[in-house]
Structure formats: C-alpha cells, structure tokens
C-alpha cells in the first residue's frame, strides 16, 4: 500500500501509543516480579499475563503501521517502578497506567478522525473497547484489595484473583 496513505500525525500517534503499550508491558512485568517476591503468586501470574497482553497490543499497532507502509519506531523505555509498600499501591499504579493508556488511545483516535483515516479509526474501536475492560479490572482489583482486611483474606484473594478478574482476553 502507498506509504503516503498514512498521515504523519497518525503515524506519530501510532508510534507514541505502541511505545506506551511496550512501556505498560515493562511496568506489568516489574509488578509481576514484585508480587512473586511477596509470595503473591496469583497476582504475579495475573500481572505477567497483563504484560503479555500489552506486548500483543503493541504488536497490533506495529502490524498496522507495517501493513500500511509506515515505519514503527521503538524508543528507549524508562525503568518501571519495581518497589512497592503494599499491594494496594500496586493496584493504584495499574489503574493510573490504564487511565494514561486510555488517554493515549483517545489521542490516536482523534488524529485518525482529523485525518479521515478510516482503518485506524476501526482499529482504535477495538482498543477503546479494550480500555473499558482494562479500567474495569483495575477498579475491581482496588475494591477487592481494600476489602481483604486480614492476611487470610488476602491469601484467598491471591488464590482467586485471575478467575475473579477474568484472566486473558487477547
């Protein structure tokens, strides 16, 4: 396909978002390892899966750029946060990460609307729907951690967190 069919503004936003998704993968990997170190194996598995999902999201954007003659530009990633005081702090960070991701996806969509780029608009519909689910699990996780007021209930939550929050979608 003709490379000129992608507007520079759309290429720029797609590249920004694909790096954002890779950054989220990096962040969730760090969170997963922290959970593993706390013997929270259920949370560790959940966040490891999230890291894989974010990587898959980045690949969707990369593939779209390549299929349309664009050039994906992979940037350096900042070191993710790796130390936490509590599991609640982890969940609050996950929520902030997903909210930031939603803002990035909205920016891609707005650029695609302005450029009348229909394929990117359709691609972004998938991401926009995905973000509704992503923000929902972060909110549920925060509620569930706040309700797990003793060590026993936290241990139960750890055992069931993957099933409770729905596991992998992608």
Interface with ligand FEO (CB under 6 A): 21, 24, 54, 57, 98, 101, 130, 134
Task: Assess contact for 167 and 42: CB atoms under 8 A.
Answer: no
In the bound complex, what is the minimum distance in angstroms from residue 25's beta carbon to ligand FEO?
8
In the bound complex, what is the minimum distance in angstroms from residue 169's beta carbon to ligand FEO?
10
Q: Between 21 and 117, whose beta carbon lies closer to ligand FEO?
A: 21
Q: Between 98 and 158, whose beta carbon lies closer to ligand FEO?
A: 98
Cα–Cα distance list, 136 to 63, 100, 130, 139 (Å): 27, 14, 10, 5
Q: How many residues does the chain have?
A: 170
Q: Between 90 and 154, whose beta carbon lies closer to ligand FEO?
A: 90
Task: Assess contact for 30 and 80: CB atoms under 8 A.
Answer: yes
In the bound complex, what is the minimum distance in angstroms from residue 142's beta carbon to ligand FEO?
15
In the bound complex, what is the minimum distance in angstroms from residue 49's beta carbon to ligand FEO?
11
DSSP string, 83-143: --S-HHHHHHHHHHHHHHHHHHHHHHHHHHHHTT-HHHHHHHHHHHHHHHHHHHHHHHHHH
Q: Between 44 and 101, whose beta carbon lies closer to ligand FEO?
A: 101
Of 83, 86, 85, 31, give the one whose Cα is nearest residue 54: 31
């Amino acid at each position: 396909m003709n490379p000129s069919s992608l507007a520079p503004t759309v290429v720029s936003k797609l590249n920004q978002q694909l790096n954002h998704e890779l950054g989220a993968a990096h962040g969730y990997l760090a969170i997963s390892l922290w959970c593993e170190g706390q013997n929270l194996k259920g949370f560790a598995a959940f966040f490891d899966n999230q890291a894989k999902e974010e990587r898959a999201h980045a690949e969707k954007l990369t593939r779209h750029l390549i299929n349309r003659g664009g050039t994906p530009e992979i940037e350096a990633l900042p070191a993710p946060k790796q130390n936490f005081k509590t599991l609640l702090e982890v969940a609050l960070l996950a929520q902030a990460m997903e909210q930031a991701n939603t803002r990035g996806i909205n920016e891609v969509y707005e650029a695609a609307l302005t450029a009348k780029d229909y394929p990117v608009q359709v691609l972004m519909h998938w991401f926009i729907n995905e973000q509704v689910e992503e923000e929902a699990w972060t909110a549920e996780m925060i509620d569930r951690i706040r309700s797990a007021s003793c060590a026993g209930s936290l241990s139960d939550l750890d055992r069931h967190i993957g099933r409770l929050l729905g596991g992998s979608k992608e």
